[in-house]
Amino acid sequence: MSQLIMLSSLKEWLTPHEYFNKFAFPATHNLELALKCNKSLTKFLENLLNTNISVSVENQEELKPNLNRTELWGKVSIPENSPIIARSAWLISNNKRVIYAYSEIAVTMLDRSAKSAIESKIEPLGSLFLNRANDVERTNIKVTQAKNVNLSLVLSLDLNTVFWCRRSLFRVDHQLSARILEIYLPECCTA
């Protein structure tokens, strides 16, 4: 598991609406919209920023079935006995990292085309699902703010930097296919 997803000083995970009303509101309207986005975040950012977003996969590995880390995902489990592809990636806009994404994908829920695309490491996960399946939805969107010392060190940021974080699920044909954690970097959606 990537050390860059270790969150600290975590407030509770809530829906965007609940979190914004209870704790804090995003600094910009664009960041608010990105945190609420229920489709492909990559496509949303491309439209918002009027530029291409590329993905740079840092690490991809297969994990054991029945892995359930409640500290990260709550009570949501990948389908039982499914091997998991864990993927850590950066979304990049104009040569700047804007999102750090960690995903766990149920291998048994992938068709050959989707598995091949994941193995190629060039396509963002949301685009991958939305371009290949008829019935895809992003559900259980929850946000929080947290510190991440390891990520701050990698990015040469102050160790007290607070990041907006979002977790969600991709369901394909009503079946849980992936869990996604996104950490929004300070450069994301600043306008």
Residue 152's pLDDT is 93
Tokens of 6: 């270790």
Element of type H or E holding 42: helix 41-49
DSSP reduced 3-state for 4: helix
Pick the more confident residue, 45 or 68: 45
CATH number, domain at 55? 3.40.1410.10
H, E, C per residue of 101-158: EEEEEEHHHCCHHHHHHHHHCCCCHHHHHHHHCCCEEEEEEEEEEEECHHHHHHCCCC
- CA pair distance 190, 30, nearest whole angstrom: 7
Is residue 92, in this structure, part of any structural domain at all? yes
Number of domains the chain is built from: 1
Domain encompassing residue 25? 3-71+81-184
Q: What average pLDDT does this structure show over 93-118?
A: 85
Note if the pTM is more than 0.75: yes
> Looking at the DSSP assignment, which residues form a beta bridge with residue 139?
169
| Residue 17 Cα to chain centre, angstroms | 18
Is residue 12, in this structure, part of any structural domain at all? yes
Residue 1 vs residues 28, 111, 136, 137, 157: alpha-carbon distances, Å: 31, 24, 26, 25, 22
Is residue 189, in this structure, part of any structural domain at all? no
CA quadruple 121, 123, 125, 129: dihedral sign? negative
Residue 5's pLDDT is 76
Is residue 191, in this structure, part of any structural domain at all? no
pLDDT in tens, 113-134: 777 877 777 777 777 776 666 6
Pick the more confident residue, 49 or 14: 14
Is residue 61, in this structure, part of any structural domain at all? yes
| pLDDT-derived band at 184, boundaries 50, 70, 90 | very high
| pLDDT-derived band at 164, boundaries 50, 70, 90 | very high
* Statement: residue 1 has pLDDT above 80: no
Residue 9's pLDDT is 73
Residue 174's pLDDT is 82
Is residue 36, in this structure, part of any structural domain at all? yes
pLDDT in tens, 6-22: 888 778 899 999 999 99
- 58 — phi, psi (to 5°)? -85, -40
How high does pLDDT run on average in the chain?
A: 85
Is residue 101, in this structure, part of any structural domain at all? yes
Is residue 76, in this structure, part of any structural domain at all? no
